Each structure stands twice: as C-alpha cells, then as structure tokens.
Amino acid sequence: GWASEGLGSSGKNRRVCHAAARLEMGSLWEEFNRLGTEMIVTKAGRDTGEDGTTEMLGVRGRILAVLSPLPCRYAFHSSSWLAAGRADPAAPGRVHFHPDSPAKGAQWMRQIVSFDKLKLTNNLLDDNGHIILNSMHRYQPRFHVVFVDPRRDSERFAHQNFKSFSFPETQFMAVTAYQNHRITQLKIASNPFAKGFRDGDPEP
C-alpha cells in the first residue's frame, strides 16, 4: 500500500534515492479532491490542522501554484470552479521546515509525519514565516526529504541530497471563505471535533 511519487530520483544520494511516502488517509483526500478541496487562508495565518483536512507526510514542505494549463485566478460559479482571469503576481516562495527536523530516518518512520501546524496566509507583508498564497488560486503541496550532508562542501551536492514528493489529490483552492457547501459538509462529517455541528445538522 505504499506509493511514492519521487521527482528526479536519478543521480540522487543513496540515502534519499529509495525514500518512499504514502499519503495518510488517501481515500479521504480523494473524496475531497473530487469535490474540489478548499483551504482557508487569513491575514493572520491559519493552521492547516484547523482547516479540518487530513495531514500530509513530509519533512520540509512548500506549496506551489498549479499551472493548468496557464496560471489563472478562479471563481466559484454554478457549483464549479471556473477560470476567471489572469493570475495575480506570484506570492513570495517560502519553505516550511518541519519542527522535528533534522532527525534520523528511523524517527520519521516511527509515526505519521504531520504538517498540521503549517500556517497559510494571504498577507503579502507577512513576517512570521507563514506560507503566503493568493486567494482564489489553485495550489499543489509538495514536500522534500533532505539528507543533512556533513561534508564541508555539501553545497556542491545539494541537488543530490533531496527527494521531492507530491500527491495530485492534495491540490486545493485557497479561499477566505468556503465556496462549495459540499466541502463544508464533508469537513464537518470527517472532523472528529465537529460533533456539535453534526448533531445540529438536519441534512444527512
């Protein structure tokens, strides 16, 4: 049941070239993806864990804009996402370092590695290190397993010392408020902390 999507595995350091990853709760991610996953972004920064979506495996994470086929801004209209013009200027690219990094491979393999505290913001002036995204744009999370090379000239081998992973079913739309009511319902239904919402919801 382990699936790996390694990007550029050839020529990699032997310590990372065989690294593999599995998306935890992949079937739930697929269910969200079929509806069009939405993630809330705020000026102050919002934890991905607060968003009610399951977490990704990883060591270092970043979120890249999806080019499909050209970068564009989207709008939710008639129950679907539609291209609605040219994309806003790209937000500053940032990488989130997992708080347990660096650690030995055995430690990463002992438990699920979660990015649930990675914060998303649409504040272009953010100085807290949060991942900056443009609202109403589509994104693809990606994470990297990186070998901490002890050699003094390690920068020469930087391109060999990491392996990247991404899962297409984790693409999401950055929004300031949920657009698709089916996403809201699925998040309530799948969030163990949302029992009160479920009890008061007359819909099945």
The DSSP string of 97-154 is: EPTT-S--HHHHHHS----TT-EEE--TT--S-PEE--TT-EEEEEEEEE----STTG
Give the separation between CA 163 and CA 157, rounded to whole angstroms: 13
Q: Tell me the pLDDT tens digit for each residue of 23-59.
A: 989 999 999 999 999 999 999 988 877 775 544 434 5
Structure token digits, residue 170: 């984790």
CB environment 178-197: b (16+ within 10 A), e (fewer) = bbbeebebbbbeeeeeeeee
Please report the pLDDT score of residue 67 as a whole number. 67
- Strand duo 38-40 + 172-175: pairing: parallel
Whether residue 41 contacts residue 133, with contact meaning beta carbons closer than 8 Å, is answered with: yes
For the chain, list the strands marked E by DSSP: 6-7, 38-40, 46-47, 60-65, 72-77, 80-86, 96-97, 119-121, 131-132, 138-146, 162-165, 172-175
- Domains present along the chain, CATH in parentheses: 20-149+160-190 (2.60.40.820)
Structure tokens, 178: 């949920």
Are 132 and 91 in contact, with CB atoms under 8 Å apart? yes
Strand, coil or helix: 18: coil
Instruction: Answer whether 0.85 is exceeded by the pTM.
Output: no
Q: How far is CA 54 from the centre of its chain?
A: 10
Burial-class residue 77 by CB neighbours within 10 Å (0-12, 13-18, 19+): exposed
- At 91 the pLDDT is 85
Q: Report how far residue 170's alpha carbon sits from residue 3's, in angstroms, rounded to the nearest whole number.
A: 14
Banded pLDDT at 1 (limits 50, 70, 90): very low
The pLDDT tens digits of the residues spanning 98-127 come to 998 888 888 888 888 888 888 999 999 999
**For residue 68, what pLDDT is reported?**
62
Average confidence score pLDDT of the chain: 83
> What would the mean pLDDT of 78-105 be, rounded to a whole number?
90
